[in-house]
Amino acid sequence: MTEKFLGVIGGSGLYQMKDLEVIEDIKVDTPFGSPSNNIVIGKLDGVKLAFLPRHGIGHVIPPSDINFRANIFAMKKIGVERIISVSAVGGMKENMPPGHFVVPHQFIDRTYKRISTFFAPGMVGHVSMADPVCLATAGTLFKAAQNAGAQVHEGGTYICIEGPQFSTRAESHLYRQWGVDVIGMTNVTEAKLAREAGICYSTLALVTDFDCWHVEEEPVTLEAVLEIMHKNVEQAQKVIRGLISMLENIEPCSCCEAAKFAVVTDPVKIPQKLKGELSILFG
């Protein structure tokens, strides 16, 4: 049996995996530049795992400046087949207060400053984003969160804003009218790139605040976010460990074939350089 190779991208508050037996700490080169940090490869409960802190160690990279393409490309290059993205979010519904977890099934993309595709002039392709997360992975992640004792919601929509500022109150009310469940600044970009890269992707969203729509609450402050974040991250580590013990039970899926027929450009028209650079992704 081939070794399952799991990737974890850690967001705000999650900068390392507890109890990971580190095998190596590598700088991965990509055609898009450097990932947010070195990738730490190790074993957790006997399972190979790659960990990448999205904002860098010490939280130095703002959402819009994250090199998302380098991060996902690097994961693909080292052999990651499945990514769990752990991310701090705002709760957009009364029943999703700080401390709750959500495993979203949908995204709305309100970003406008980033490149969210590997395709480029010379090589055009389109993948389906109808179901933007790997539902098989998400289902198991949800069960792992339940088993870890988290108050977790299955499904829901994550709206991804550009940031780094939080929403205005008018925006927050507007997004609520759209029926979104949580709000964050990073995951839709990762989900799009992971889909193109044929990597299973699922988000574990950790609710840290109520954004600013909640009339009972003070507008979101960084202090409040960090305090809840700390507790959430501890529990998220338990969820990941639980998921690791359930990896074998994840239903088969077709994420790895998402880009198989995506390229529409006539192969003879694709520049050799681009072909070479993207061969890790598209063969």
Q: How many CB atoms lie within 10 A of CB 138?
A: 23
| Residue 259 touching Zn ion (CB under 5 A) | no
Q: Report residue 126 as tokens.
A: 């389109």
Nearer to Zn ion, 188 or 255 (CB): 255
Only one of the segments 125-133, 169-177, 191-199, 249-257 lies at the binding site for Zn ion (rule: CB under 5 A); that segment is 249-257
Site size with Zn ion, rule: CB under 5 A: 4
Distance CA 40, CA 8 (A): 10
Nearest to 57 by CA among 85, 9, 8, 15: 15
Binding test (CB under 5 A) with Zn ion, winner from 191, 244, 255, 274: 255
The residue among 134 and 233 lying less far from Zn ion, judged by its C-beta, is 134
By the rule CB under 5 A, 134 interacts with Zn ion: yes
| Residue in 193, 197, 200, 258 binding Zn ion, rule: CB under 5 A | 200
Judged by beta carbon, residue 53 or residue 104, the one nearer Zn ion is 104
CA 231 – CA 3 distance, rounded (Å): 31
For 224-233, b/e burial (b = at least 16 CB within 10 A) is: bbeebbeebb
Least distance to Zn ion, CB of residue 174, Å: 32
Q: How far is the CB of 168 from Zn ion (least distance, A)?
A: 36
Residue 26 or 253 with smaller CB distance to Zn ion:
253
Nearest-approach distance from CB 1 to Zn ion, in angstroms: 18
Write down the residue that tokens 């639980």 correspond to: 242
The residues that are catalytic are: 209, 211
Under 8 Å between Cβ of 270 and 70: no
Beta-strand runs (E) in the chain: 5-10, 21-26, 39-44, 47-53, 82-91, 101-103, 106-110, 152-154, 157-161, 182-184, 200-209
Q: Which stretch binds Zn ion (CB under 5 A): 73-81, 84-92, 131-139, 219-227?
A: 131-139
Q: Which stretch binds Zn ion (CB under 5 A): 56-64, 121-129, 154-162, 255-263?
A: 255-263
Residue 253 found at the interface with Zn ion (CB under 5 A): yes
102 vs 200 by CB, closer to Zn ion: 200
Work out how close the CB of 82 gets to Zn ion at its nearest, in angstroms, rounded to a whole number. Answer: 7
**Binding to Zn ion by residue 182, rule CB under 5 A?**
no
CA distances from 231 to 8, 116, 140, 228, 252 (A): 18, 31, 22, 5, 33
Secondary structure (DSSP) of 6-41: EEEEE-TT--S-TT-EEEEEEPPPBTTB--SSPEEE
Binding site for Zn ion (CB under 5 A): 134, 200, 253, 255
